[in-house]
Amino acid sequence: MTLSMSQASKPVFTQGLKGLLGVLTKAEAHAAAGNIDPNAFLQARLYPNMFPLTRQVQIAADFAKGAVARLAGDEVPAWEDNEASFAELKARVQRTLDFIGAIDDGKIDGSEDRDITLVRRGESSVHKGQAYLLEQALPNFWFHVTTAYAILRHNGVEVGKRDFLAMS
């Protein structure tokens, strides 16, 4: 049985985003229950030179929507990075889930050899669809989802593997 590009992408991003949505919800509740300023979590970092939670969530969402759009041959939607609350971050994650869900699997399937052009810091590079998904999009997505989870866990939010995997 062959694994299609839509099967290797959409459900994986969806699971990660649902887990992210769940840990953000728990963090918001934890802040409210403990009378903690939400910004203590939203601006928290694992290390001073790393991005804060808010940016980790934005980047994770960007990798998910960007990968699915590129694999489908669609324009990547540009969203402002202006979220400043848990509600706004959760809305961004939900908007990403909605975007991914709206992309027809047939547009992604067969994209293994599609040329994907990336522009980073003004430099262009071209990658085949499968290599892009497996070697760039998914690893980067999971890095930022994991870092967001770790920031919250490090700051006392009671989340675990089942939350991360969206199994609770």
Three-state SS for 125? Answer: strand
Question: At what angle are helices 138-154 and 5-33 packed, to 10 degrees?
Answer: 20
Is the pLDDT at 35 greater than 90? The verdict is: yes
Which CATH number, 3.50.50.60, 1.20.120.450, 1.10.3720.10, 3.40.50.970, labels domain 5-164? Answer: 1.20.120.450
Q: Does 167 score more than 90 pLDDT? A: no
Average pLDDT, the chain: 96
C-alpha pair distances (Å), 74 with each of 4, 46, 56, 103, 116: 18, 35, 24, 9, 11
How far is residue 154's CA from residue 156's CA, in Å, rounded to a whole number? 6
Q: What confidence score (pLDDT) does residue 120 get?
A: 87
Domain boundaries, the chain: 5-164
- For residue 75, pLDDT over 90 is answered with yes
Mind listing the pLDDT tens digit for each residue in 136-155? 999 999 999 999 999 999 99
Under 8 Å between Cβ of 53 and 44: yes
Element (H, E) at 151: helix 138-154
Please determine, for residue 168, whether its predicted confidence score (pLDDT) is greater than 80: no
What residue has token string 């990798």?
Answer: 63
Mean pLDDT of the 33-46 span: 97
Model's pTM, two decimal places? 0.96
Residue 37 has pLDDT above 70, yes or no: yes
pLDDT, tens digit, 9 for 90 and up, residues 88-132: 999 999 999 999 999 999 999 999 999 999 988 999 999 999 999
The predicted model gives 48-73 an average pLDDT of: 98
Tokens standing for residue 146: 């994991």
